[in-house]
Amino acid sequence: MTATPALPDSPSPSPEPAPGLGNCANCGTPLLGEHCYACGQPVKGLVRHFSSLIGDVLDSVFEWDGRLPRTLWPLLGKPGYLSNEYLAGRRIRYVSPFRLFFFLAVLTFFVGKLTVSFGEGGGVNFGGDNAIETALTVADVEQARDAALAELAATTAAIEAGTAAAGTAAEGPGQAGADVARRASEAALRSGEAAIRAQADSRIRRLREAQAAGQPPPPPNVARLRFDDGDWDAEKNPIAVTWLPGFANDWLNQQVGRVQKNIPRVQEDPDLFKDAMLGAVPSTLFVLLPVFALMLKVLYVFKRRLYMEHLIVALHSHAFLCLAVLLLFVLSALDHWLAPDGGWRGVVFKLLEAALWIWMPLYLLLMQKRVYRQGWPMTLLKYAVLGWCYVVLLSFGAAFTALAGLVWM
């Protein structure tokens, strides 16, 4: 048999440029799609309609398309579902865990800034009655002192009247309880009067000293931070941690100085502190996330799962908590807006808020059970250990957030 000579390989046809796209503006190669296959430059630049830029930002940053509504309901109502789907490889249909958490954390505490308020006049009092401390003359101090004493006396009288009425309605133990309550209110009245008079005397003394020295009235005597049984002072009594280098102690004292300066601002407008705290919460959660995943890794070490798998679970659990807190903020705002006087609407909102508070720990327990698939005794034990450890961790995080709020406000 004569062998049939092999035909030479025919060259593969060169790809034809997509109609209407033309050539790449960077290298001149015919374009086949949204990106140049030779240099990688995208066809779309910034010089186009602003609405299309907004759409690209929402899609690339938040994946704001069909995936978002497909993700939010399982996140809220189906514990462990998203984590199991992601670990099983079904990822493209849902928002990625990191973007989901980032989006919800930013949105939640932004809404918190808008809806949560300490209220008008609800000052954060770091050092006594503001009317006394801000008085500029001795007469103003005495007037503020007398007003504070009258208010304290009226409050105490109302309490005594209530306890006396309760005592006359009962014999024996009831009358004895009324006597104890009356004596306690009298002691509280004497203690409060002494504190108000001491504060007024201190303010009057400082005003007279400034007047005698020909100086302007002194600023309000705000609370001082105390270290080593003395008021903090950058020169006379600074923080000095022996095992830290000098530059670290200098940095600590700079932050304490900022806190000391910010205390009067917080007294004047407490919402500044609230906004600073809520602004620092997302950063704190980002720090706690890998630690929470590490605790899951330790608790489920015999499951032989990768650390990144536990991090996915941590991201989804924290995203759920952010979504639940966001709904609490919204429900609270709707309650104040639609039901300021209570009524059946107020009852509905309160019931929804209570249901969310109950659902949060229950959701996390069910999520842990469905993702790691252990029996109920081991799941409950590990849930209790994890919860206790994380509450301690959150306490430190909350303290850090409060300090960060005072420093960075």
The DSSP result for 256-314, as a single string, is: HHHHHHHHHHHHH-THHHHHHHHHHHHHHHHHHHHHHHHHHHHHTGGGT--HHHHHHHH
Domain co-membership, 314 together with 192: no
Q: Would you state the pLDDT for residue 119?
A: 55
8 A C-beta contact, residue 367 and residue 313: yes
Q: Would you state the pLDDT for residue 20?
A: 58
Q: Would you state the pLDDT for residue 165?
A: 53
Q: Would you state the pLDDT for residue 6?
A: 53
- Rounded to 5 degrees, what are φ and ψ at 220? -55, 145
Q: Would you state the pLDDT for residue 11?
A: 52
Q: Would you state the pLDDT for residue 15?
A: 54
Q: 320 lies in which domain range?
A: 246-408
Based on the structure, what is the number of domains in the chain?
3
Looking at the DSSP bridge assignments, the partners of residue 230 are 227
Q: Is residue 53 domain-resident?
A: yes
Q: Where is the domain boundary, 9, 37, 61?
A: 61
Residue 6: CB atoms within 10 A of its CB come to 6
Domain co-membership, 217 together with 272: no
Distance, in Å, from the CA atom of 264 to the CA atom of 409, rounded to the nearest integer, reads 12
pTM greater than 0.85 (yes/no): no
- Rounded to 5 degrees, what are φ and ψ at 226? -120, 135
Q: Is residue 236 domain-resident?
A: no
| Low-confidence residues of the chain: pLDDT under 70 | 1-21, 44-65, 118-130, 156-189, 191, 218-231, 267
Residue 102 identity (one-letter amino acid): F
Distance, in Å, from the CA atom of 400 to the CA atom of 256, rounded to the nearest integer, reads 13
Domain co-membership, 172 together with 280: no
Q: Would you state the pLDDT for residue 121?
A: 43
Q: Is residue 16 domain-resident?
A: no
**Signed CA dihedral, 87, 93, 98, 103: sign only:** negative
Element housing 231 (H / E): strand 230-231
Q: Is residue 36 domain-resident?
A: yes
- Look at residue 336 and give its three-state secondary structure: helix
Q: Would you state the pLDDT for residue 238?
A: 84
8 A C-beta contact, residue 141 and residue 204: yes
Q: Is residue 82 domain-resident?
A: no
Task: From residue 258, give the alpha-carbon distance in Å to each of 126, 177, 202, 253, 264.
Answer: 15, 48, 25, 9, 11
Domain co-membership, 253 together with 292: yes
Distance, in Å, from the CA atom of 273 to the CA atom of 267, rounded to the nearest integer, reads 9
Distance, in Å, from the CA atom of 199 to the CA atom of 149, rounded to the nearest integer, reads 12
